Structure 1
Amino acid sequence: MNATNAPDTVFETQRPRLFALAYRLLGSRSEAEDVVQDAWLRWHQTDRAAVRDPEAWLVTATTRLGIDRLRAVRSERIAYPGPWLPEPLTVDESPGPEHRSELAEQVSIAFLAVLERLGPEERAAFLLKEAFDYDYDQIAELLDRTEANCRQMVHRARERLQSGRPRFEVEPARHRELLERFMHAAQRGDRGAITGLLDANARLVSDGGGKARAVIRPLLGGERIARLYWAVARRNGYSDWRMGTLNGEPAVLGYTDGVLTSATVAVSDGEHILELLTLRNPDKLPIPH
């Protein structure tokens, strides 16, 4: 490795880690790519001879750039047409439970959506601790905060996230089975079967981004959600829906003339579906593979 290639080699070695951090911070593939590109530019503009720990420097730069970008986009997300949902990394048409990977545990759409409850620095502190196993002294130095303050931020983040996430473990195969049964019931427009699969207090969130038809505010109640899917089936007839995965978790993929037009994931307790999250904004639907 010669001197000319050394900076690029160092950065490219760290790129997957930097992107993983930026994506978890922002919940957007495109925003994360921009942050990593900005970090690359700063890396090439800095005096690298004075950098004692390139990895720490790059993680710090990416985190601070990510926090700045998150502050900037929060106002855009408030003004977003209807509910905003995270932009997935991957869509896979392979439906088997073996495709539920470690990725799904860390970047499920539901988890990323709950992270939106946190402030930018709180989110960064939580992710550095929980997802990247940083010590509190490292987080404090990176965020330019006291160690005690970082502990408080992570503790507060855990409490806020626990209130928005299921407190039970569900077997992946059971979760996928519930979602598949829901898909078939919704395709038939079987209102009774849909209602039976949904929790009485179920919630539906649909992100169309003003570019596709979607529910413009969260729809609450299993019966109301079932009524919506019944009406859609009566109006549109049989829908081309197939089981696949979104960020490694089971998803119902919807197609129109062979083009992916929706992707739905669910939160369940193993017995009923508690929440349905549907992406319909075409800008957020990556090409399946």
Structure 2
Amino acid sequence: MSKVEEFEELRPLLFSIAYRILGSVGEAEDAVQETWLRFDGSTTRPASAKAYLSAAVTRIAIDVLRSARVRREQYVGPWFPEPLLNDPYQDPARAAELAESVSMAALVLLERLSPLERAVFVLRDVFGFEFDEVAEAVERSQAACRQLLVRARRHMRAGQPRFAAARDERERLASRFFDALSEGNVAGLRELLSAEVSMIGDSGGHGPQLSKPLAGPDNVTRVLAMAFPRMAKIGVTYVTYEINSRPGAVFRDRDGKVVHTLGLDVVDGRIQMIRLVVNPEKLRHLGPTADIWAIDHATRHAHRLPRSPE
């Protein structure tokens, strides 16, 4: 097998590792490309291409994450990872770990870990690498890696919901939610929301955002029932997707340009959180992005538009 063939076979795994460490599609793709350049430029062939390339992409991702720390600490408003529609790496034996670890909720928790804790957790608990491989990748002793993993697991467990819904339950609830949203069914929306529901938007200062997270079913329902019919009036439509292994949708303007994504977290039979990614810099991998300020302006005035004749 040639170097190119070996690399392409492992590319999905490398991207999935980098994305979970970085929370960015663009940065993960860049890390994978840099890994290829190092592999292609090496004069020797490693005994295990998987071990070599996984270690290389992990180290590159750690370096990127460290350099991005200051930028992320200065990020305007709530930070969410870039939405991922399709995780290219699949392993039936670790399907549950892969799906859970790529969720928005899990990636937000991972963001609170140190770069080394994050890398060790991803390699060991998500992808099942042995401790000697993890230690080689992060250039630490196995004992140090075990301690890093203990701390990472503790932080992750503390932030995870106790009664997360199964996939079929999430899909049923999401179907009802989007039906109610399309119909402007206020009562239908209200009954799907948890008493602790919140709605949070990530614009990074590059677009309009909620002045603060909305909390409570009444507030969230009121904004949903007001905003989305107005968006529909100016030609904004949506297509449902599984986003980061959870139900969601991509909203586009009348020209097909991306406006934002919406994702749902379902816990204990109700929608507990609605996450909006509005920052156009986080949406470019989904296609051309809309002028979000123009969309916002038009939406605010949509209620003044006359109804179309039936």
State the TM-score, normalizing by the size of structure 1: 0.82
Provide the secondary structure at the position in 2 that maps to 1:39.
Answer: helix
Deviation at 1:229, TM superposition (A): 2.0
**Residue matched to 1:263:** 261
Q: Which stretch of the first structure deviates more once superposed, 26-35 or 171-180?
A: 171-180
Q: Which amino acid aligns with 1:9?
A: E
**Residue matched to 2:299:** none
**Residue matched to 2:145:** 150
Question: In the aligned structure 1, how far is the partner of 2:76 from the partner of 2:162?
Answer: 31
**Residue matched to 2:247:** 250
Provide the secondary structure at the position in 2 that maps to 1:225.
Answer: helix
Question: In the aligned structure 1, how far is the partner of 2:238 from the partner of 2:216?
Answer: 23
Provide the secondary structure at the position in 1 that maps to 2:191.
Answer: helix
Provide the secondary structure at the position in 2 that maps to 1:163.
Answer: helix
Deviation at 1:237, TM superposition (A): 6.0
* Poorly superposed stretches of 4+, deviation over 6 Å: none
Name the structure, 1 or 2, with higher relative contact order (CA <8 Å, separation 6+): 1
Q: Which amino acid aligns with 1:176?
A: E
Provide the secondary structure at the position in 1 that maps to 2:205.
Answer: coil
Q: Return closer, same or farther for 1:147/1:196 CA change in 2, 3 Å cut-off.
A: same
The one of 71, 76, 89 aligned to 2:84:
89
Given that residues 246 and 264 in structure 2 are in contact (C-alpha distance below 8 angstroms), is that contact kept between their aligned partners in structure 1? no
Provide the secondary structure at the position in 2 that maps to 1:257.
Answer: coil
Unaligned runs of 5+ in 1: 93-100
The one of 191, 205, 208 aligned to 1:210:
205
The C-alpha deviation readout for 1:257-281, integer Å capped at 9, x for no partner, is: 1523222111112421111111222
Question: In the aligned structure 2, how far is the partner of 1:107 from the partner of 1:182?
Answer: 22
Q: Which stretch of the first structure deviates more once superposed, 264-273 or 22-31?
A: 264-273
**Residue matched to 2:41:** 45
Question: In the aligned structure 1, how far is the partner of 2:164 from the partner of 2:44?
Answer: 46
**Residue matched to 2:193:** 198
Question: In the aligned structure 2, how far is the partner of 1:152 from the partner of 1:160?
Answer: 13
Given that residues 185 and 191 in structure 1 are in contact (C-alpha distance below 8 angstroms), is that contact kept between their aligned partners in structure 2? yes
Given that residues 267 and 275 in structure 1 are in contact (C-alpha distance below 8 angstroms), is that contact kept between their aligned partners in structure 2? yes
Identity of aligned residues (%): 36
1:122-133 equivalences under 5 Å are 122-133=117-128
Deviation at 1:208, TM superposition (A): 2.3
The reply to whether residue 117 of structure 1 matches residue 115 of structure 2 is no
The one of 278, 281, 284 aligned to 2:282:
284
Q: Return closer, same or farther for 1:10/1:188 CA change in 2, 3 Å cut-off.
A: closer
Q: Which amino acid aligns with 1:249?
A: R
Given that residues 193 and 272 in structure 2 are in contact (C-alpha distance below 8 angstroms), is that contact kept between their aligned partners in structure 1? yes
Q: Which stretch of the first structure deviates more once superposed, 151-160 or 205-214?
A: 205-214
Question: In the aligned structure 1, how far is the partner of 2:231 from the partner of 2:17?
Answer: 41
Question: In the aligned structure 2, how far is the partner of 1:252 from the partner of 1:18?
Answer: 26
Provide the secondary structure at the position in 2 that maps to 1:206.
Answer: strand
Given that residues 206 and 218 in structure 1 are in contact (C-alpha distance below 8 angstroms), is that contact kept between their aligned partners in structure 2? yes
Q: Aligned pairs, how many?
A: 275
Provide the secondary structure at the position in 1 that maps to 2:69.
Answer: helix
**Residue matched to 1:76:** 71
Q: Which amino acid aligns with 1:209?
A: G
Deviation at 1:126, TM superposition (A): 0.4
Q: Which amino acid aligns with 1:53?
A: S
Q: Which stretch of the first structure deviates more once superposed, 247-256 or 13-22?
A: 247-256
Q: Which amino acid aligns with 1:18?
A: L
Question: In the aligned structure 2, how far is the partner of 1:223 from the partner of 1:216?
Answer: 17
State the TM-score, normalizing by the size of structure 2: 0.77
Provide the secondary structure at the position in 2 that maps to 1:211.
Answer: coil
Deviation at 1:232, TM superposition (A): 2.0
